[in-house]
Amino acid sequence: MTMGFEASGMCLDQGGEGFRAVISEGSGYLQRHPRTKLAADIHLMMGDAYADIVALADGGGYDLSESEKYVAEAPSARLKAIDEYRLSIRGTGLDTSSASRAWTSAWSLLAGIAHRGTRFYCVYD
């Protein structure tokens, strides 16, 4: 999950959109295992995955023209990212550094500041 379910090394597994797999697999896992000790980490990764959509809509991808593809879903993704970060902080199991990063990421999104980079977006040249 930390690699966006990308094992090919050439962005072939998820078509470059590993963030979608992280969201899908993470939410499915949490539904099947609601009391898992990994919940805080999974919520943090899902927050990063939703934040990728916001960043891509804001021109954070490989090609600026790509942003159009994500603009419509960015407002919803922003709210979901904030919620996932909140859940990760509220849960138990995050180390101090990860909790601080989650808080900073949530604050930035609340302030309308998109991430400049992505975590689960993959481009292979």
Q: For position 72, what pLDDT does the model report?
A: 96
- pLDDT single digits (tens) 105-117: 999 999 998 777 8
Residue 10: is its pLDDT beyond 80? no
Query: What CA–CA distance (Å, rounded) separates 25 from 30?
Result: 9
Q: Does residue 77 lie in a domain region? A: yes
**Residue 60 placed within a domain:** yes
Angle, alpha carbons 104-97-30 (nearest 5°): 80
pLDDT grade for 53, boundaries at 50, 70 and 90: very high
Question: Is this structure's pTM higher than 0.85?
Answer: yes
Residue 87's domain comprises: 18-110
Q: What are phi and psi of 17, to 5 degrees?
A: -105, 60
In a domain, 45, yes or no: yes
Q: Count how many domains the chain has.
A: 1
On whether residue 104 sits in a domain, the answer given is yes
Please tell me whether residue 13 adopts helix, strand or coil conformation.
coil
Whether 84 shows a pLDDT value over 90: the answer reads yes
In-domain check, residue 11: no
- Looking at residue 122, its pLDDT comes to 84
